[in-house]
């Protein structure tokens, strides 16, 4: 990685700010006709005629949101884009453009930023978004990455957090808890490595969950799937802080309650086995682990026949009247109020 003495290290000072920007952004070409002007002027110009525009930003800070001792820069660039696209898809919108801003200390050589940008470029290709601008500045310590994503949606199609009604089905995509358990494995290996740098860990048993942590994907496919199935969720949110916290956001915004069934929560076998190994409760991990970037939605009962056979969608509960509260119905059939623990970086 960046400390590897065999690799070339080109000092950022040698390039200057504009040389750096030109170098990092030279491969970016506009793919969307709505991108009228991309990188190179004082501002980008976007023409989303007839569509509503959604805009979302996330800021990632070294030492708070990522640790470069195990997160390769290529993956970090990819992930920085994904976390934003996930928010666009949660509005039931199509992501079209992103901007990328970085603050970087001189301890990073150019080659490190090339890695970062290769991940950004890959994500922009895979998700079909144009990189239309950004900002570049120095930082006194570490690396900061801020991505802004822009998307478009027909005004009738936009889905907010506040549309859930009592009796709606609570539906989640994919499976949960993988990213958090991947992080547990990576942190354990980091400690092992500190003690014995020659130790070559066998991580085959953890490939899925490590990938969920290091190279997450956003559910662009679900926006298309819902459109193809002619299902418009009544509310939707992406799962960045854990299922529990996201359910509570929908309940609060929509003024409803909910019953979430513990035995319905989708878990990958690797999450279950790693939870056993770490002596953690897999339900707690699905509820409170973060960064899965799946979508959580509420769907009218009328749409149940359309969604029921789809392997991407799992019904995990239903919405209730607000005064019933938001509850977990456990395997023992007791009701426990859901709590928003999340794994907010403020408390770490």
Contact footprint for ligand ADP (CB under 6 A): 21, 25, 39-42, 100-102, 131, 133-136
The CA distances from residue 276 to 24, 188, 288, in Å, are 44, 15, 17
Instruction: Find which of ligand ADP, Mg ion, none residue 240 binds, CB within 5 to 8 Å per kind.
Output: none
Checking DSSP bridges between strand 143-153 and strand 52-61, what pairing results, if any? Answer: antiparallel
Q: Structure tokens of 183?
A: 């992080």
- Nearest distance from residue 200's CB to ligand ADP, in Å? 36
User: Who contacts 176 (Cβ-Cβ below 8 Å, separation ≥6)?
Assistant: 239, 243, 265, 266, 267, 271, 285, 286, 289, 292, 294
Residue 233 binds which entry of ligand ADP, Mg ion, none, with Cβ cut-offs from 5 to 8 Å by kind? none
Strands 130-138 and 143-153: unpaired
Q: Which residue is nearest to Mg ion (CB)?
A: 135
Q: How far is the CB of 18 from ligand ADP (least distance, A)?
A: 6
If the CB atoms of residues 31 and 37 are measured against Mg ion, the closer one turns out to be: 37
Select 53 or 340, whichever has its Cβ closest to ligand ADP.
53
Residue 21: contacted member of ligand ADP, Mg ion, none (CB under 5 to 8 Å, by partner type):
ligand ADP
Among 47, 135, 263, 281, binds Mg ion (CB under 5 A): 135
Residue 209 contact partner, candidates Mg ion, ligand ADP, none, CB within 5 to 8 A by sort of partner = none
Q: Which single residue brings its beta carbon nearest to ligand ADP?
A: 133
Distance CA 211, CA 205 (A): 12
DSSP 148: E
Q: How far is the CB of 230 from Mg ion (least distance, A)?
A: 44
Instruction: Considering the complex, state which of residue 17 and residue 263 has its C-beta at the smaller distance from Mg ion.
Output: 17
Q: How far is the CB of 131 from ligand ADP (least distance, A)?
A: 6
Of the candidates 182, 159, 167, 235, the residue with the CA atom closest to the CA atom of residue 70: 182
The answer to whether 165 touches 256, Cβ cutoff 8 Å, is: yes
Q: Least distance in Å: CB of 139 to Mg ion?
A: 14
Rounded-to-integer distance, Cα 134 and Cα 311, Å: 38
Residues in touch with Mg ion (CB under 5 A) = 135
């Amino acid at each position: 990685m960046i400390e590897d003495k065999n690799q070339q290290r080109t000092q950022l000072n040698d390039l200057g700010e504009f040389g750096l920007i030109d170098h990092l952004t030279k491969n970016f070409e506009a793919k969307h006709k709505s991108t009228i002007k991309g990188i190179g002027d004082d501002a980008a110009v976007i023409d989303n005629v007839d569509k509503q525009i959604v805009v979302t930003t996330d800021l990632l800070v070294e030492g708070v949101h990522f640790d470069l001792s195990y997160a390769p820069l290529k993956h970090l660039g990819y992930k920085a884009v994904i976390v934003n696209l996930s928010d666009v898809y949660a509005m039931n919108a199509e992501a079209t453009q992103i901007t990328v801003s970085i603050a970087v200390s001189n301890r990073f050589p150019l080659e490190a930023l090339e890695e970062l940008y290769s991940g950004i470029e890959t994500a922009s290709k895979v998700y079909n978004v144009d990189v239309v601008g950004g900002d570049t500045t120095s930082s006194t310590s570490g690396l900061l990455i801020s991505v802004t994503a822009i998307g478009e949606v027909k005004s009738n199609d936009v889905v907010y957090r506040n549309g859930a009604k009592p009796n709606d089905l609570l539906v989640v995509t994919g499976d949960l808890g993988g990213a958090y358990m991947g992080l547990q494995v990576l942190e354990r290996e980091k400690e092992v490595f500190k003690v014995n740098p020659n130790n070559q860990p066998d991580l085959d048993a953890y490939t899925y969950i490590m990938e969920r942590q290091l190279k997450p994907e956003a559910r662009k496919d679900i926006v298309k799937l819902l459109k193809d199935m002619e299902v418009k969720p009544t509310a939707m949110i992406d799962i960045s802080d854990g299922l529990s916290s996201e359910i509570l956001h929908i309940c609060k915004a929509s003024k409803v309650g909910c019953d979430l069934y513990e035995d319905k929560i989708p878990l990958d076998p690797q999450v279950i086995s790693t939870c056993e190994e770490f002596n953690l409760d897999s339900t707690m991990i699905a509820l409170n682990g973060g960064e899965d970037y799946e979508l959580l939605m509420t769907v009218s009962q009328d749409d149940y026949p359309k969604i029921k056979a789809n392997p991407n969608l799992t019904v995990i509960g239903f919405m209730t009247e607000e005064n019933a509260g938001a509850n977990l119905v456990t395997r023992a059939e007791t009701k426990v109020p859901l709590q928003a623990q999340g794994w907010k970086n403020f408390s770490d």
